[in-house]
Structure 1
Amino acid sequence: MRLLVSNLTHRYEDLTVLEGIDLDLAEGEILAVIGPSGCGKSTLLGIAGGIVAPTAGRVTMEGPVPDGCLNPVTFIFQDFALLPWRSVEDNVALVLEHHPLPETERRQRVETGLRRMGLWEFRKALPKQLSGGMRQRVGIARALAVRPAVLLLDEPLSALDAQTRELLMDDFLDLWRRERTTALYVTHNLDEALRLADRIAVLSRRPGRIREIVTVEEPRERRQEPSAQAHLAEVRDRLWHLMKAEAQMADREIARA
């Protein structure tokens, strides 16, 4: 499905967090959103997912709902958001419990998600028995269980070490190649955005406005090859040039606050 964000503005009382945001995500596209701390990235995701009501503007979705889709829009969070007293399979099954599904389909959806994320043999484990990377895989498997049309990812890899981030980026790209799910991906990591995204939207410091949307021309399957590094370095320099001064100003504002 296609996701459209039109003239979006959001305020918390007298504080304007986002202003005049326009985004158009094509079906099957990954759009990364980067920007300095406090620029409204997570608020943008909350509005896109319907859990925050915008002050002005709107978010719409266009196109047919995929077969078997239970939730058109689904979140994957930074903090995994797992229930510690439930097993891996029960955490994944949680999102299906309010849907009137036959028990066989419920089990099949849980098993499919866990197998895709390499977690089937850990299905009876509790979250505390898993590494951070495995807990995030549970979060992804849970999102897959509802077969979403659009994924909203809020810095899903930022709490993980570099090696685990690399492995999960590979997992995410394998998943995207199979599902071609539209994704709005918030991150503070430029290299992560360059690895995953078709386009990268750069937000200004608060109030967050779109400074520029940068297209990554290099095909994803070639981005780790030596021949692609010059182009990616050029795009990275451009992104950092757009962000650097405002990131420094945003950090000073946060420190003063």
Structure 2
Amino acid sequence: MDLRLEAISHRYDALAVLDGVDLTARDGEILAIIGPSGCGKSTLLQIAGGLILPTSGRVTAAGAAPAGCLNPITYVFQDFALLPWRTVAGNVALALEHHPLSRAERGERVAAALARLGLAEFADALPRQLSGGMRQRVGIARALVVDPAVLLLDEPMSALDAQTRELLIEDFLGVWLQNRTTALYVTHNLAEALRLADRVAVFSRRPGRLTELVAVAVPQAERSGEAARLEIARIQDRLWELIRAEASAADREMADA
């Protein structure tokens, strides 16, 4: 399924956050969004997911949802957003509770989602008993349990240490390659974007405008290989050149404020 953001602008009272954004996450791709702090990346993701309405513009979808899809669009949050009193299985099952499923169907979906993320043996654990990486795996399993057509990820690795982030990126990529769910992925981390994305959308400082779309031609499964490293490094250098001046200006604006 394609997710289309058409002429999206947004204001918080007098503060202009986004300005005239046209962007499409194509069926089966990961589209990463990068840009300076405060450029409206997370706001755009909330608009894409219907959590807030844009001041102007619209969000549309095109194409068929996958078989078994219960929610066309679902979220993975930066802060895990787990209920501390629920077990791992209970947190994943939460996404199913407003759907008319039998107990057996619900159990099968939860078990399958836990297995995909390597969480089967932690089904009865509470969030406080898990590491940060394991908690985010629960968040991803909860998003995938509804077989979404579009996955929205708001800096899902940013709260993790470098080693845990690397492991979780590998696991997420392995899961994604099985189904290639359309994904819109917000991150500050250029290396992370280039491990995962088919294309990278570069945004200006606030109000956020799309300044460039950069394609990553190397298939995801080949990017950790020696042959791909020079090309990935070249694209990362280009991305940094695109955002460096904007990031510096955004930092100065925040300091002045």
TM-score range, shorter chain: over 0.9
Counterparts of residues 214-225 of structure 1 (less than 5 Å): 214-225=214-225
Counterparts of residues 223-234 of structure 1 (less than 5 Å): 223-234=223-234
1:40 equivalenced with 2:1 (yes/no): no
Partner of 2:165: 165
Q: Which residues of structure 1 form unaligned runs of 5+? A: none
CA–CA distance in structure 2, aligned partners of residues 224 and 234 of structure 1: 14
Name the stretch that deviates more: 34-43 or 96-105. Answer: 96-105
Partner of 2:175: 175
1:127 equivalenced with 2:159 (yes/no): no
The alignment's C-alpha RMSD in Å is: 0.8
Deviation per CA, 1:79-124: give whole Å up to 9, x if none: 0000001111000111111111111000001100001111111111
CA–CA distance in structure 2, aligned partners of residues 20 and 94 of structure 1: 36
Aligned residue pairs total 257
Deviation per CA, 1:207-245: give whole Å up to 9, x if none: 000110000111212211111111111111110001111
CA–CA distance in structure 1, aligned partners of residues 66 and 195 of structure 2: 26
**Percent identity among equivalent residues?**
66
1:5 equivalenced with 2:5 (yes/no): yes
1:29 equivalenced with 2:2 (yes/no): no
CA–CA distance in structure 1, aligned partners of residues 219 and 112 of structure 2: 28
TM-score by length of 1: 0.98
Segments of 4+ moved more than 4 angstroms: none
Partner of 2:76: 76
Deviation per CA, 1:144-182: give whole Å up to 9, x if none: 111100000000000101111111111111111111100
What secondary structure does 1:64 align onto?
Answer: coil
Q: Which amino acid aligns with 1:172?
A: F
CA–CA distance in structure 2, aligned partners of residues 98 and 44 of structure 1: 26
CA–CA distance in structure 1, aligned partners of residues 94 and 220 of structure 2: 33
What secondary structure does 2:70 align onto?
Answer: coil
Partner of 1:91: 91
CA–CA distance in structure 2, aligned partners of residues 182 and 134 of structure 1: 23
1:189 equivalenced with 2:189 (yes/no): yes
Q: Which amino acid aligns with 1:38?
A: G
CA–CA distance in structure 1, aligned partners of residues 83 and 182 of structure 2: 27
CA–CA distance in structure 1, aligned partners of residues 255 and 130 of structure 2: 35
Partner of 1:51: 51
CA–CA distance in structure 2, aligned partners of residues 105 and 248 of structure 1: 51
CA–CA distance in structure 2, aligned partners of residues 145 and 222 of structure 1: 27
Partner of 2:136: 136
Partner of 1:145: 145
What secondary structure does 2:83 align onto?
Answer: coil
Q: Which residues of structure 2 form unaligned runs of 5+? A: none
CA–CA distance in structure 1, aligned partners of residues 107 and 8 of structure 2: 39
CA–CA distance in structure 2, aligned partners of residues 150 and 11 of structure 1: 25
What secondary structure does 1:136 align onto?
Answer: helix
How big is the shift at 1:256?
Answer: 2.4
CA–CA distance in structure 2, aligned partners of residues 221 and 142 of structure 1: 24
How big is the shift at 1:255?
Answer: 2.1
CA–CA distance in structure 2, aligned partners of residues 78 and 255 of structure 1: 25
What secondary structure does 1:165 align onto?
Answer: helix
What secondary structure does 1:23 align onto?
Answer: strand
TM-score by length of 2: 0.98
CA–CA distance in structure 2, aligned partners of residues 248 and 26 of structure 1: 31
Partner of 1:243: 243
Partner of 2:101: 101
